[in-house]
């Protein structure tokens, strides 16, 4: 039977932990072949793994080299394969206790056995050391993490300022959650961690902005953050017309330069007083215009109708209608930590969706 069944294959580089594979369907069976692990038999290396939906989410059957090294079989109920289907609202992982956050730039966060890999996006909640001290200023802001250890990672924010009090001793209610599918809409709304003023303006964001050169952007900067002159209204030269910036340089996944002369603007600051955090909206950069999507760019080596890129990954849909935002809801499976191998391992996969299943 093949009327509705689907098969996909491909190659992916392992992240050394949870490694997502985006597909145009949710598979009910997955085969994995770790080419790197199979090349030189080594104790603990997993060259092959298999998952079926009837095993349950997170399970897997796999082959692993023992100390001989000889190839033996094993199973796991966790850390194997999970499937996902993102919706129109953000989905989060389990809340994990924050042990501490330092006063530093970048801030160092301790969460026991956090399970993150560099590039994951997280949010925080309840960051109070006491009723009048702590770091609630960074709650509910998405941060891309840089992993520094099994229990530690950094976030791109300067907490070494007078408005912040270091967190320690696992404060009650202070938690971190991983954002499972952080780029449901692209380019999306970016939260600003720094602004460099001058003849042009450089913006650094807390998570990947997904912007391209030529994209128009607007700014929403509350007074406490300083550089309110960037805000899109009013335009004193053309009444009724908003002030937009155009991205002239994409410096990195979290930094762009726009063509706004901000030499005379107020300096940007993230030193927000603790007492001002209730009801405070973070400083934001928002995509506008019609340059980011629509399968751009089409090149000699691209597909006939290439779908847009989001955070470096091509989306599963066809060419989108050009506009400031595109829907990037997606689905597929995740190779979890038990069978993901080492960072940069080359993994070949086959994923199946059957039109008939007899459990």
DSSP string, 256-279: EEES---TTSPPP-----GGG-TT
- Average pLDDT value over all residues in the chain: 88
How many domains are there within the chain? 3
- Same structural domain for residues 70 and 35? yes
Residue 10 pairs in a beta bridge with 349
Percent of the chain scoring above 90 in pLDDT: 64
| Residues 44-98: tens digit of each pLDDT | 999 999 999 999 999 999 999 999 999 999 999 988 999 988 765 677 888 999 9
| Position 314 in a domain | no
pLDDT average, residue stretch 319-341: 79
pLDDT score at 96: 96
Residue ending a domain, among 182, 208, 236, is 182
Residues 195, 281, single domain; the answer is: yes
Task: Give the pLDDT score at 324.
Answer: 74
**C-alpha 127: how far from chain center:** 21
Same domain for 173 and 190, yes or no, is no
Judged against a pLDDT cut of 70, whether residue 130 lies above it is answered with yes
Residues 152 and 105 in one domain: yes
Give me the percent of the chain exceeding a pLDDT of 70.
86
Shared domain check, 61 and 136: no
* Structural domain harbouring 192: 186-288
Regarding whether 192 and 157 lie in a shared domain, the answer is: no
pLDDT, position 1: 45
- 145 falls within a domain: yes
Check whether residue 118 and residue 129 sit in a common domain: yes
| pLDDT for 239 | 62
Same domain, 64 and 50: yes
pLDDT for 323 beyond 70: no
**Full-model pTM:** 0.78
Asked if residue 196 is part of any domain, the answer here is yes
* 324 within domain boundaries: no
Average pLDDT over every residue of 114-124: 91
Task: Give yes or no: residues 98 and 174 share one domain.
Answer: yes
Buried b vs exposed e over 296-318: b needs ≥16 C-beta within 10 Å?
beeeeeeeeebbbbbbeeebeee
* Residues 197 and 276 grouped into a single domain: yes
Give a yes or no: residue 122 inside a domain: yes
What residue spans of the chain are helical by DSSP H? 35-39
Residue-level pLDDT at 355: 84
What pLDDT shows up at residue 297?
57
More confident site: 130 or 78: 130
Domain finish residue from 132, 147, 182: 182
Instruction: Mark which of 182, 215, 242 sits at the end of a domain.
Output: 182
pLDDT at 293 over 70: no
Do 174 and 255 lie in one domain? The reply is no
pLDDT at 133: 97
Q: What is the mean pLDDT of residues 291-308?
A: 59
Choose the most confident range, by mean pLDDT, from 113-122, 190-199, 281-290: 190-199
Looking at the structure, tell me whether residues 100 and 78 fall in a common domain: no
pLDDT tens digits, one per residue of 161-179: 999 999 999 999 999 999 9
Does residue 358 lie in a domain region? no
Q: Is residue 302 part of a domain?
A: no
Q: Has residue 305 been placed in a domain?
A: no
In this model, does residue 295 exceed pLDDT 60? Answer: no
**Of the listed ranges 181-185, 284-288, 322-326, the one predicted with least confidence:** 322-326
User: What CATH number does the domain containing 166 carry?
Assistant: 2.40.30.180
């Amino acid at each position: 039977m093949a009327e509705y069944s689907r098969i996909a294959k491909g190659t992916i580089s392992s992240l050394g932990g949870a490694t997502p594979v985006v597909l145009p369907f949710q598979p009910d069976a997955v085969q994995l072949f770790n080419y790197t692990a199979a090349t030189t038999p080594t104790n603990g290396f997993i060259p092959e793994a298999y998952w079926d939906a009837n095993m349950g989410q997170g399970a897997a059957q796999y082959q692993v080299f023992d100390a001989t090294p000889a190839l033996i079989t094993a199973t796991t109920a966790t850390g194997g394969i999970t499937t996902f289907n993102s919706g129109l609202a953000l989905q989060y992982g389990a809340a994990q206790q924050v042990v501490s956050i330092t006063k530093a730039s970048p801030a160092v966060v301790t969460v026991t056995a956090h399970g993150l890999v560099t590039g994951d996006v997280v949010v925080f909640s309840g960051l109070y050391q006491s009723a009048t001290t702590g770091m609630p200023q960074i709650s509910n802001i998405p941060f891309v993490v840089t992993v520094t250890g099994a229990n530690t990672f950094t976030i791109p924010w300067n907490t070494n300022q007078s408005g912040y009090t270091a967190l320690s001793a696992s404060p009650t209610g202070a938690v971190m959650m991983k954002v499972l599918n952080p780029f449901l809409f692209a380019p999306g709304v970016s939260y600003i961690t720094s602004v460099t003023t001058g003849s042009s303006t450089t913006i650094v964001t807390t998570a990947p902005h997904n912007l391209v050169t030529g994209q128009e952007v607007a700014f929403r900067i509350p007074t406490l953050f300083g550089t309110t002159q960037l805000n899109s209204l009013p335009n004193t030269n053309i009444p009724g017309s908003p002030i937009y910036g155009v991205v002239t340089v994409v410096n990195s996944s979290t930094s762009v330069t726009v063509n706004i002369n901000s030499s005379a603007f107020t300096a940007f600051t993230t030193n927000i007083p603790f007492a001002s955090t209730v009801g405070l909206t973070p400083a934001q950069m928002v995509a506008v215009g019609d340059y980011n999507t629509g399968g751009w760019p089409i090149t000699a080596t691209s597909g006939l109708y290439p779908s847009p890129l989001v955070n470096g990954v091509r989306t599963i849909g066809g060419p989108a209608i050009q506009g400031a935002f595109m829907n990037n809801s997606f689905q597929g499976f995740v190779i979890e930590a038990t069978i993901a191998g080492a960072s940069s391992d080359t993994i070949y996969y086959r994923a199946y969706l059957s039109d008939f299943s007899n459990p």
